Structure 1
Amino acid sequence: MAGATQRAKVRRFRDGTGIGGRASLAVEEPLEIRVDGAVVATTMRTPGHDFDLALGFAITDGGVSPDRVGGMSYCGVDAGEVVATPTAADLAGPYSGDFNVVNVATRDGGGVTVARNRQTVVTSACGVCGSDVVADLRERAGSVAEDPLTVDADVIASIPPAARAAQPGFEATGGMHAAAAFAADGTLLALREDVGRHNAVDKVVGWAATTGRLPMAGTILFTSGRVAFEIVAKAAVAGIPMIVAVSAPTTLAVELAQEVGLTLVGFARDGDFTAYAATHRIRD
């Protein structure tokens, strides 16, 4: 499996003149996610933190509670056999062999609690929302209205530049999204990068699950892209009471944030931002 970035030959043009050179590209490869051996999704992702991604997806999209998870492993594509249980050093990559299939094993062997057809590839450009998915995620997105989190406006303004400084993949390629967990005082807790913004969020949720931080009460989720319905739903499932994004939310995202009492902040750039829902958590 490749690392997160890869060098490529390019020809750059300035003022009509071409010059040969090299550039870094964001790596995009398929990851097949299985729960108890059954395929639940194949998503196009940037390699790295694959266990976080698989676990986060199983929780936010498959309804698997963290206490049911017994372990995770990379598997061979054809035979399905476990070929590695990587150490922390191994997870930094690159790997030898095939590491594009991850199995999440539950203690009870019961698989996902939300059964959907996920045999098609989920692209890095979008999530997996159809009308049935929207209805299910809306039903499973728990209320965070009672979370007592309050955050100073200047802390919110500080989050995008703090996240930007911790994105080596974007720095190298200009082609990766980021999602991050921040504490109420603006402390960066974890950041994950991926070509897909939904994948980056799932990686953060998976990190929280493996470190015993679910539900993520009192936590701020940063995302570098626009905020669609599914991002808000994933945050609510994880118990996150606030999202800060550098881009705009959609109508369904704002509606769901209002329904579940989640503070939704968009256009957080250059010290300014716009709050769309549950604005009472923001202190002037």
Structure 2
Amino acid sequence: MENTATAPRLTTRWVGDRPEQIDDQLAIEEPLEIRMQYGPAHARISKVISVTMRTPGDDTHLALGFLFTEGILTSTDQVASVDQEFWSPNSILVQLEPHALPNMPEQDKHFYTSSSCGVCGKASIEAIRTVSKYDSGSDTFSISVDMLYGLQAQLQQQQTLFDATGGIHASALYDRHGRLSWIGEDVGRHNALDKVIGRAFQERTLPLYHHILLLSGRASFELVQKAYMAGISVVVALGAPSSLAVETARSFGITLIGFLKQDRFNLYTAPHRIIVKG
């Protein structure tokens, strides 16, 4: 099967003062147009909902994850089919059941997302809270420090596209015992997470109360927001969180961890879920 996520390129690598020609693998970045059709059979409405720059692969999960985490869809039962458009590999069509009505964005405008920032300019934290079906802060989920320390090595073993390109973000979902459930990889960190949540949405395993989300980079506001939409109560990042990510996690009761290494981490919010086994 052809790899559509990476592309070989001939480049020049300098080592000291000596150049050499090498074959380099680059992560592919292409636009994905997410279209949606809804309404009664005799009067279907077709709209472009989003254009996102992504790494091809798991486009179905990406589309469903995006529509769910943005509050446009709330249930798998709303979805009749998800198909790649026959005229373009970079367009995907989500068809809703005739009775299903999406929660469309205000002013009926579509989103544009880049691989760097996700959907920016969100409304207030309280507005997000009213959209989510789940309350990730009310669970009694707890995890051990020792289990957390083992997650970084697990993620590195699973990041196949990062190993090939060095330019891919990953979002990985682990159960309470530290076993990997799913992983999503993409040039966009928000896309990687939407791929994971979209799979859970399609397989009807939401909410993800007793799961740990591990991010390969920093923890930004929109990633914490998406985690809350899916009911995830523990978010762990290998990099730094932003101030708004911390504020959002605290408001939602999410345990937020940053700078995870094999022997240390920073705990920012909801410390009651972290336990030390004697």
Q: TM-score, normalised to structure 1's length?
A: 0.87
* 1:20 aligned partner: 21
* 1:128 aligned partner: 119
The structure-2 alpha-carbon separation of the partners of 1:39 and 1:273, relative to structure 1 and needing over 3 Å to count, comes to: same
Shift of 1:2: 6.8
* 1:8 aligned partner: 9
Q: 2:158 aligns with which of 154, 166, 176?
A: 166
The structure-2 alpha-carbon separation of the partners of 1:269 and 1:118, relative to structure 1 and needing over 3 Å to count, comes to: farther
**Conserved 8 A contact 1:40-1:117:** no
Q: For 1:259 and 1:276, how far apart are their aligned partners in 2?
A: 12
* 2:248 aligned partner: 256
Q: Which moved more, 1:106-115 or 1:157-166?
A: 106-115
Q: 2:89 aligns with which of 86, 89, 99?
A: 99
Q: Which moved more, 1:52-61 or 1:157-166?
A: 157-166
**Conserved 8 A contact 1:35-1:112:** no
Q: Equivalences for 1:197-236 in 2 at 5 Å?
A: 197-236=189-228
Q: For 1:2 and 1:29, how far apart are their aligned partners in 2?
A: 14
Q: For 1:118 and 1:154, how far apart are their aligned partners in 2?
A: 46
The structure-2 alpha-carbon separation of the partners of 1:118 and 1:29, relative to structure 1 and needing over 3 Å to count, comes to: farther
Q: 2:229 aligns with which of 216, 233, 237?
A: 237
**Conserved 8 A contact 2:49-2:111:** no
SS in 2 for 1:255: helix
**Conserved 8 A contact 1:2-1:47:** no
The structure-2 alpha-carbon separation of the partners of 1:117 and 1:135, relative to structure 1 and needing over 3 Å to count, comes to: farther
SS in 2 for 1:3: coil
* 1:246 aligned partner: 238
* 1:92 aligned partner: none
The structure-2 alpha-carbon separation of the partners of 1:116 and 1:41, relative to structure 1 and needing over 3 Å to count, comes to: farther
The structure-2 alpha-carbon separation of the partners of 1:134 and 1:259, relative to structure 1 and needing over 3 Å to count, comes to: closer
Shift of 1:225: 1.5
User: Amino acid of the residue matched to residue 95 of structure 2?
Assistant: A
SS in 2 for 1:165: helix
Shift of 1:50: 0.3
User: Amino acid of the residue matched to residue 88 of structure 2?
Assistant: D
Structure 1's unaligned 5+ residue stretches are 76-82, 84-96
Shift of 1:112: 3.5
1:68-116 deviation line (CA, Å, top 9, x unaligned): 12221112xxxxxxx2xxxxxxxxxxxxx62111122222352344446
1:222-263 deviation line (CA, Å, top 9, x unaligned): 111211111111001101111111011111111111111111
1:151-210 deviation line (CA, Å, top 9, x unaligned): 001111111210111011000000000001100110000101000000000000001112
Q: For 1:117 and 1:227, how far apart are their aligned partners in 2?
A: 29
Counting aligned pairs with the same residue, the percent is 38
Q: Which moved more, 1:32-41 or 1:22-31?
A: 32-41
Corresponding pairs, count: 264
Q: For 2:66 and 2:111, how far apart are their aligned partners in 1?
A: 15
Q: For 1:182 and 1:239, how far apart are their aligned partners in 2?
A: 14
**Conserved 8 A contact 1:41-1:118:** no
